């Protein structure tokens, strides 16, 4: 029994060591990723259901790891936040997305809204709106072609300063979307103070509502809440015709999901935009 006990301890500590080593390796390669320019953006279409056209694209960050391949954001953004590099990476995301959108416009492709996610640390920067204004200026993208996506929990961290930033964005004519609605602690009282344009229903609700009646009820309630606040509804993660039909019948305006297209590299996105133009 004694030997077994010791064996347990040994495997426990070596597992801990392995975790520490993995984290340190990850930390190191994440810092290098920034220096080595291993980050790329993919773009996913957002469709307008009335016209059937693409009306926006969401920029989604990818890390092209030399050995591991493409690392999804859920695997590295939390660590990047912890390391304090997200404001820098996020600023690169904004600039790259705005520049890309401007290039597509210059190439005569249809005008689309470029939708960009902000990290928590980025959102709390005191000079955030100035930074965004500067990037718009630099890239020459009209502010009304940019949409910023923030989550409920990001807003709720500091409601007063969130209201101030969001109002400043609105004054600049930048569009605002509340992301993953329904997953955080939302306060409906606060919601009406924010000058939002769109409300995005998180993909977890969309995935499950065809199976669970409660989720169907939530989706319907969120659509009606959004409409009563004058917001457009974007459903995320639409994968099936059944989901599409239900959302369409219940007044959802815009959709995003693998049913239409997964996030694509810029070059492939450009191909889609060219087809869109011919419609």
* The only residue of 74, 126, 188, 189 in contact with ligand C2E, by rule CB under 6 A: 74
Instruction: Report the distance separating Cα 142 and Cα 101, nearest Å.
Output: 10
Stretch that binds ligand C2E, among 63-71, 72-80, 188-196, 270-278 (CB under 6 A): 72-80
User: Closest approach of Cβ 202 to ligand C2E, in Å?
Assistant: 6
Q: Does 253 bind ligand C2E (CB under 6 A)?
A: no
Q: What number of chain residues touch ligand C2E (CB under 6 A)?
A: 23
Q: Residue holding tokens 């416009």?
A: 105
Please give the Cα distance from 224 to 233 (Å, whole number): 9
- What pairs with residue 179 in β-bridges? 151
With binding defined as CB under 5 A, does residue 149 bind Ca ion? yes
Residue 243 and residue 211 in contact, taking contact as beta carbons nearer than 8 Å: no
Task: Tell whether residue 152 is a contact of Ca ion (CB under 5 A).
Answer: no
**Which C-beta is closer to ligand C2E: that of 245 or that of 277?**
245
CA-wise closest residue to 239 among 206, 201, 265 = 206
Q: How far apart are CA 59 and CA 55, in angstroms?
A: 13
- For residue 29, CA distances in Å to 71, 80, 255 come to 12, 11, 35
Q: Which of residues 148-187 bind ligand C2E (CB under 6 A)?
A: 179-180
Which of 33, 54, 57, 77: binder of ligand C2E (CB under 6 A)?
Answer: 77
User: In the range 232-261, which residues lie near Ca ion by CB under 5 A?
Assistant: 236
DSSP symbol at 145: G
DSSP state of 49: T
* Residues at the site binding Ca ion, with contacts judged by CB under 5 A: 117, 149, 179-180, 236
* Residues at the site binding ligand C2E, with contacts judged by CB under 6 A: 44, 60-61, 72-74, 77, 90, 93, 117-119, 179-180, 203, 236-239, 256-258, 263
């Amino acid at each position: 029994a004694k030997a077994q006990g010791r064996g347990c301890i040994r495997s426990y500590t070596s597992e801990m060591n392995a975790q520490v080593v993995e984290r340190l390796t990850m930390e190191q390669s994440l810092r290098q990723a920034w220096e080595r320019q291993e980050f790329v953006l993919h773009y996913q279409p957002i469709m307008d259901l009335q016209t059937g056209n693409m009306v926006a694209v969401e920029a989604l960050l990818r890390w092209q790891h030399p050995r591991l391949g493409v690392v999804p954001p859920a695997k590295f953004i939390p660590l990047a936040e912890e390391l304090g590099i997200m404001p820098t990476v996020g600023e690169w995301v904004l600039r790259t997305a705005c520049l890309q959108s401007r290039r597509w416009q210059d190439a005569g492709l249809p005008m689309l809204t470029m939708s960009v996610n902000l990290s928590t640390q980025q959102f709390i920067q005191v000079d955030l709106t100035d930074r965004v204004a500067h990037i718009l200026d630099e890239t020459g993208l009209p502010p009304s072609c940019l949409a910023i996506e923030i989550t409920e929990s990001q807003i709720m961290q500091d409601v007063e300063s969130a209201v101030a930033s969001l109002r400043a964005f609105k004054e600049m004519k930048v569009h605002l979307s509340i992301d993953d609605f329904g997953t955080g602690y939302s306060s409906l009282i606060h919601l009406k103070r924010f000058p939002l344009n769109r409300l995005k229903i998180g993909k977890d609700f969309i995935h499950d509502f065809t199976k669970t009646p409660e989720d169907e009820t939530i989706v319907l309630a969120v659509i009606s809440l959004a409409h009563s606040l004058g917001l457009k509804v974007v459903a995320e993660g639409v994968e099936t015709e059944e989901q599409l039909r239900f959302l369409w019948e219940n007044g959802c305006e815009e959709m995003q999901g693998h049913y239409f297209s997964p996030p694509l590299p810029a070059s492939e996105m450009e191909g889609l935009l060219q087809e869109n133009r011919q419609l």
